[in-house]
Structure 1
Amino acid sequence: MTEADARRLTVCLSFDVDAMSGWINKTDNAAMISRGEFGAFAIPRILSLLDRHGAKATFFVPGHTALAYPETVRSIAKADHEIGHHGWVHENPATFDRDGENKILQRGIDALAEVAGVRPIGYRAPSGQFSPDTVDLLIKAGFRYESTLAATDFWPYYVRNGDVVSKTEPFVFGEPSELIEIPIAWALDDFPLFELTPGSASPQHTPSEVREIWQTEFDYAYANAPGGVMTIIMHPQVIGRGSRLNMLDGLLEHMASHPGVVFESMETVETRWRSENPLDAYLQNGGPLPR
């Protein structure tokens, strides 16, 4: 049996450690900002759960969070989990010009290097938003993968650079770049499923409802996407609540009971997937995306 045969499905557990930064961009109300503080408070119990399952994860950390909670961020690195880039103060990249977005990118890189001694190779856009310059800036900054887009479900792909989007003209596809996408889905994100945001009509779901969504998605991937990658997006301030963490504990047990399921960081996935799918071969084979 080859390594690929033994590894039927990779599960990437990812955590966006927004802490206060996600709220500071919206308000200066201390009551709202304190919701982000819970994210730092919950990190130890999350690390403990991951350790019990022998699971490696990726934590996307804004620079603001790293400087506010340096010991917490260092504890993530010390536990041998990957640290990725998640902006400076969780600002929406699409609201900045190219120079402004680049400065934010560099400020986040500098903060993670100062606090944890890491140079992240992975990026997730705050608020799940790209500007027309984001892909090009990530490539120029030396990022190797990103995890914000959703053009596939369980299959990484090379991100196009140079798409031309118009409301009046046909869509023009750019060319695949060296940047790898490890795709996400909002249905696999805990925040819109669990959290109440003032002014939003999104319903709150129970842990059992969210488990049903995530587990059913896992079961489909296991049966139909051998060799694929399933990404789950979580926020410590959300998933770190007792009932939700118990749900995650049970879900990981269910996943681990299936032969060939591994819990790996996105950095590990990127390295392996790139070696198995060099860009030249990917272009010749057409990749997973229709054009």
Structure 2
Amino acid sequence: MPEPTPQTPQTPPTSQTPQTPPTGRWPGGARCAVVVSVDFDAELPLLAASPEMARRAKTLSVGRYGATRGVDRLLREFADQDVRTTWCVPGRQAETHPRLVRRIAEAGHEIANHGHDHEDFDHLDLPAQRAVVERASAALAEVTGVRPRGFRIPAGEWAHGFPDALAELGFTWTSSLRGDDLPYFHPTAGTGRLIEIPVHHELEDHPYFFFNLDPAFPAGQSRIASYEQVLGNWTTEFDAYRRFGLCYVLRLQPEVTGTPGRIRLVRELLEHVRRHDDVWLATAGEVADWWADTRPGNDPDHPAEVFARLAGDAEGAR
């Protein structure tokens, strides 16, 4: 009998398999988009969590470090790297630190609405959520001269109909949800085209580093992560986002990453990003504008569209 013909083994695809993102997804032939965002919260989340915090100077100092030192360090680093970023700022910060918020805007960074007092939206109905947004926009516009077009929820979940309210108020984007790694449209009832620019926990600094002894946060007292491992996570994610042609959104906080040691992580990550000449470094607003200008809407099978249809069916069945 003739010898069987040897079969060439098939190599399964690996994470290193080259990928070609869809042509034209990003401007100038870029492979991926990168948005560096900063939440300038300082002590407001602590005060929002419990009024008793107003008497706890040591605990409040953990958050206030952001305004004292962290903002300046991040601004210097972004200037050195020539990177324009998006800052999500509660309205109260414009009232408490007007010069600091004005400096951020005058440095060319985008200012977005982040609630007024870092409210937990779980405790607010839709009219109250809308009122918070309007109050914050007015405070930010008073300091910067520009009403914000973007929004990031401070805490909790927004009420049904909130994206419609944002669109009615003239917002064009939000960066609050986590269900995708590309922008998508909220199926709003009106004519506004509100775009979501998703964020992810692994690309934030807070889950790795935020720590307080009394009251204990986190409750298990188990976290201040290795700097090198966090930088490794962030660069690994960037490499993967670039490979697949996605929208990488880094989320920083001045009180967390604006320390003398951790600012190096921001520097080295941005240096790694800028070594690639096929990456679009943009503000969230620029990404939203590009997406709106180049996309007619979501694909019919996008989860946002599926959920909207299901919600409509459920409402019609009542």
- Decide: shared fold, TM above 0.5: yes
What is the DSSP-based 3-state SS (H/G/I as helix, E as strand, rest coil) of the residue aligned with 2:248?
strand
What is the DSSP-based 3-state SS (H/G/I as helix, E as strand, rest coil) of the residue aligned with 1:107?
helix
Q: Which has the higher strand share?
A: 1
Q: State the TM-score, normalized to the length of structure 1.
A: 0.87
Structure 2 partner of 1:156: 183
Amino acid aligned to 1:30: A
Amino acid aligned to 1:37: R
- Distance (whole Å) between structure 1 residues aligned to residue 62 and residue 76 of structure 2: 21
1:273/1:80 Cα in 2 relative to 1: closer, same or farther (>3 Å)?
A: same
- Distance (whole Å) between structure 1 residues aligned to residue 260 and residue 293 of structure 2: 40
1:186/1:60 Cα in 2 relative to 1: closer, same or farther (>3 Å)?
A: same
Percent sequence identity over matched residues?
31
Structure 1 partner of 2:199: 184
Matched, 1:270 2:288: yes
Post-superposition shift, 1:130? Answer: 2.2
Q: Residue 194 of structure 1 contacts residue 204 of structure 1 at CA under 8 Å; is this kept in 2?
A: yes
- Distance (whole Å) between structure 2 residues aligned to residue 229 and residue 144 of structure 1: 17
What is the DSSP-based 3-state SS (H/G/I as helix, E as strand, rest coil) of the residue aligned with 2:261?
helix
- Distance (whole Å) between structure 1 residues aligned to residue 305 and residue 114 of structure 2: 29
Structure 2 gaps of 5+ residues are: 1-22, 307-318
2:59 to 32, 43, 49: 32
Q: Residue 194 of structure 1 contacts residue 205 of structure 1 at CA under 8 Å; is this kept in 2?
A: yes
Q: State the TM-score, normalized to the length of structure 2.
A: 0.80
- Distance (whole Å) between structure 2 residues aligned to residue 185 and residue 203 of structure 1: 19
Matched, 1:216 2:231: no
Q: Residue 95 of structure 1 contacts residue 131 of structure 1 at CA under 8 Å; is this kept in 2?
A: no
Matched, 1:143 2:164: no
- Distance (whole Å) between structure 1 residues aligned to residue 184 and residue 71 of structure 2: 31
- Distance (whole Å) between structure 1 residues aligned to residue 302 and residue 286 of structure 2: 20
Post-superposition shift, 1:249? Answer: 0.4
- Distance (whole Å) between structure 2 residues aligned to residue 126 and residue 113 of structure 1: 19
1:247 to 250, 265, 271: 265
Q: Alignment length, in residue pairs?
A: 273
Structure 2 partner of 1:194: 209
What is the DSSP-based 3-state SS (H/G/I as helix, E as strand, rest coil) of the residue aligned with 2:146?
coil
What is the DSSP-based 3-state SS (H/G/I as helix, E as strand, rest coil) of the residue aligned with 2:186?
strand
Structure 2 partner of 1:207: 227
- Distance (whole Å) between structure 1 residues aligned to residue 237 and residue 150 of structure 2: 24
Post-superposition shift, 1:56? Answer: 0.7
1:232/1:156 Cα in 2 relative to 1: closer, same or farther (>3 Å)?
A: same
Structure 1 gaps of 5+ residues are: 163-174
What is the DSSP-based 3-state SS (H/G/I as helix, E as strand, rest coil) of the residue aligned with 1:214?
helix
Post-superposition shift, 1:64? Answer: 0.7
Range 179-188 or range 202-211, more displaced: 202-211
1:177/1:151 Cα in 2 relative to 1: closer, same or farther (>3 Å)?
A: farther
1:177/1:287 Cα in 2 relative to 1: closer, same or farther (>3 Å)?
A: farther
- Distance (whole Å) between structure 1 residues aligned to residue 136 and residue 263 of structure 2: 29
Q: Residue 187 of structure 2 contacts residue 305 of structure 2 at CA under 8 Å; is this kept in 1?
A: no
Whichever of the two has the greater Rg, that structure is 2
1:57/1:72 Cα in 2 relative to 1: closer, same or farther (>3 Å)?
A: same
Post-superposition shift, 1:128? Answer: 5.5
- Distance (whole Å) between structure 1 residues aligned to residue 144 and residue 202 of structure 2: 31
Amino acid aligned to 2:265: M
Matched, 1:127 2:164: no
Range 104-113 or range 124-133, more displaced: 124-133
Q: Residue 9 of structure 1 contacts residue 262 of structure 1 at CA under 8 Å; is this kept in 2?
A: yes
C-alpha RMSD of matched pairs (Å): 2.2
Counterparts of 1:36-185 in structure 2 under 5 Å? 36-41=63-68, 42-127=70-155, 129-153=157-181, 155-161=182-188, 178-185=193-200
- Distance (whole Å) between structure 1 residues aligned to residue 149 and residue 256 of structure 2: 25
Structure 1 partner of 2:7: none
- Distance (whole Å) between structure 2 residues aligned to residue 254 and residue 5 of structure 1: 20
- Distance (whole Å) between structure 2 residues aligned to residue 21 and residue 81 of structure 1: 21
Post-superposition shift, 1:242? Answer: 1.4
